[in-house]
Amino acid sequence: MPAPNPKENLLLASLSSAELKRMHPHLEPFPMPLGHVVYESGRILDHVYFPTTAIVSLLYVMENGASAEIAVVGYEGLVGISLFMGGETTPSRAVVQTAGHSLRLAAKYLRTEFSRAGSMQQLLLRYTQSLITQMAQTAVCNRHHSVDQQLCRWLLLSLDRLPTLELVMTQELIASMLGVRREGVTAAAGKLQKAGVINYSRGHIKVLDRAKLEAMSCECYQVVRKECERLALYPTVK
Amino acid sequence: MPAPNPKENLLLASLSSAELKRMHPHLEPFPMPLGHVVYESGRILDHVYFPTTAIVSLLYVMENGASAEIAVVGYEGLVGISLFMGGETTPSRAVVQTAGHSLRLAAKYLRTEFSRAGSMQQLLLRYTQSLITQMAQTAVCNRHHSVDQQLCRWLLLSLDRLPTLELVMTQELIASMLGVRREGVTAAAGKLQKAGVINYSRGHIKVLDRAKLEAMSCECYQVVRKECERLALYPTVK
DNA sequence: CCGCGTCCGTGCGCTAGCGAACGTAGACTC
DNA sequence: GAGTCTACGTTCGCTAGCGCACGGACGCGG
């Protein structure tokens, strides 16, 4: 497993050379296998994680075991905002949704850098706001949009955080992220496949027509993307 | 209209006397009539607003006019976090849900105070995290819970931000907040009335049995409340 | 090449919530 | 005290999504 380059994470790449120089010695490679729980609800974090190739889902698991994704974090962001927001913990869980690499940074170094009130602080706060937008839009989407539309939104959000047009992801997993039944995902994915938008096969999804996927999605994807671009924080779109 | 006392807002009340002294000259009373749009999606804010007796809903309005509440802000918080988070704007709208008073502070004073990196900054960031929790829980609730349960949650959140057990609020308005049909609220409120939990009459809701209301609510209310109490940021419960 | 486990497709009955329309009763106006 | 308006109640047909159950198909290991 090659050591990930800090420049692969957009937040780290945005740092000034002086800042990056200070952080670099403390950034340690951290592998993220599929399904790994990066943090558990209520646990106190001792690191923040900057994904490079991995994708992490923030999700809330209810008392009865049902779950729902709150937001998704890829190479454009970081996992563990509660460390600098001052809350220490959050009631949600972070799970690796796509295996890959990340860099992690011990809490004390992050706090030190944050308290310098420099561009790192600004960057982290701006990123947090983009995360807030994503959460808000998730709430709206959960309220008003069909499973079909939500699947499109979800695929696009994942796609933007991946180097290729292929996702490794079972319908069961997508269902648990969206908080719907697996059968609902099967039905929605079936429609997309018939429309020639994707190709699904035993946990491998190839996106064939991204433009059509965007057209079939609800407005929520575009809102999040536009807002993040405005904040100069969005992954490049392939 | 009496000038609101800064101590009526929990954030302002938590400031050190030195901080409050610095801010006090710049805090101006700002009335909040029902329905007033405190900020519009995308507009650049020039003040932050600290409600004292008013309650403000953050909601997202979709292209087709449908809406959904993202979070609610009362005397425990402030409206306008994007000013110190660095984004300047957000894609949501803030609307006065319960008429009352607030104090507002011009952006430049807030930014100055924030950049001192003192307890005010910590306080604002901790509050932002509590807001994030509320949004996340709203997303989950929208996904998994019935209108009945959501109504209970919503009533409790409003109740905690009010001095009395009576809300002035039409079913139409509640429906637009929850993002459901008015008829759905009528049905849910009818059940609560039959159960002796509330008394509804032409825009006036009296809560008769708060304990039962909490029992009929989903876990989401308690999650938000516990998390905010943990962050030492929650209104006292009557 | 056989067996088994994972993953995906399908069918069926059921309920919650939607959309639209209409009825009614309290409250306010003049 | 008659008219009017706003807020709430009720109905009906419809659809999306749920829970459950089963079956088939692909792929891996032996």
Comparing CB atoms, the residue among B87, B90, B139 nearest residue A139 is B139
> What would the pLDDT profile of B8-66 be if each residue is shown by its tens digit?
999 999 998 999 999 999 999 999 999 999 999 989 999 999 999 999 999 999 988 89
Confidence of residue A235 (pLDDT cuts 50, 70, 90): confident
Under the banding of pLDDT at 50, 70 and 90, the label for residue B233 is confident
Domain positions in chain A: 6-140, 146-217
* Residues shown for chain B: 238
Is residue A202 classed as helix, strand or coil in its secondary structure? coil
A1 has a pLDDT exceeding 70 = no
- Give the domain B6-140 fold: Jelly Rolls (2.60.120)
Q: Which residues in chain B touch residue A138, judged by CB atoms under 8 angstroms apart?
A: 139
Contacts of A143 in chain B (CB under 8 A): 68, 142, 179
Where are the alpha helices (H) located in chain B, listed in sequence order? 10-13, 17-23, 82-85, 107-115, 119-144, 147-159, 171-178, 182-194, 210-216, 219-230
Amino acid A159: pLDDT: 95
| Lookup: nucleotide whose C1' is closest to A184 CA | D17
Averaged pLDDT for residues B196-218: 93
Which pLDDT score, from 0 to 100, does residue A238 have? 59
Lowest mean pLDDT among A144-158, A203-217, A221-235: A221-235
Q: Kind of pairing, strands A93-98 and A55-61?
A: antiparallel
At residue A118, the pLDDT reads: 87
CA distance B191 to B189: 5
Chain A within 8 Å of B14 (Cβ-Cβ)?
A: no
pLDDT tops 70 at residue A189:
yes
Interatomic CA distance for residues B148 and B125, integer angstroms: 33
Residues with CB under 7 A from strand C: A 170-172, 182-183, 186-187, 189-190, 193, 200-203; B 146-148, 179-181, 183-184, 201-202
- Identify the pLDDT of residue A51: 97
Which is it for the CA torsion A220, A221, A226, A229, positive or negative? positive
Q: Residue A201 — very low, low, confident or very high, per pLDDT cuts 50/70/90?
A: confident
> Within 7 A of a protein CB, which nucleotides of strand C?
6-11, 16-21, 26-27
Is the model's pTM score more than 0.85?
A: yes
Reply yes or no on whether the pLDDT at A2 is more than 70: no
How far lies B178's CA from each of A40, A233, B33, B191, in Å? 29, 30, 21, 17
Q: Are B235 and B160 in contact (CB under 8 A)?
A: yes
Pairs from B114-121 (Cβ < 8 Å, separation ≥ 24): B114/B84, B115/A117, B117/A115, B117/A117, B118/B19, B119/B14, B119/B15, B119/B16, B119/B19, B120/B15, B120/B19, B121/B84
Q: What is the mean pLDDT of chain A?
A: 93
Helical pair B171-178 and B147-159, crossing angle rounded to 10 deg: 110
Q: Is it the case that residue A215 has pLDDT exceeding 80?
A: yes
Could you read off the pLDDT of B209-228 as tens digits, one per residue?
999 999 999 999 999 999 99
* A202 nearest nucleotide via C1' and CA: C7
Q: What angle do CA B27, B84, A114 make, to 5 degrees?
A: 130
Query: Does A138 have pLDDT greater than 70?
Result: yes
A61 CB within 8 Å of a chain B CB = no
Q: What is the largest CA-CA distance in chain B?
A: 54
Out of A84, A91, A129, closest to residue B223 by CB: A91
Q: pLDDT (tens digit, 9 = 90+) per residue, B100-145?
A: 999 999 999 999 999 988 889 999 999 999 999 999 999 999 999 9
Q: Quick one: which of B208, B84, B71 has its CA closest to B135? A: B71
DSSP-derived 3-state class of residue B227: helix
Nearest-CB residue to B117 (from A63, A85, A117): A117
How many of the other CB atoms lie within 10 Å of CB of A4? Answer: 23
pLDDT for residue A236 is more than 80 = no
Does the domain made of B146-217 have the CATH classification 1.10.10.10?
yes
Q: Is residue A95 within 8 Å of A37, Cβ to Cβ? A: yes
B133 part of contact set with chain A, CB < 8 Å: yes
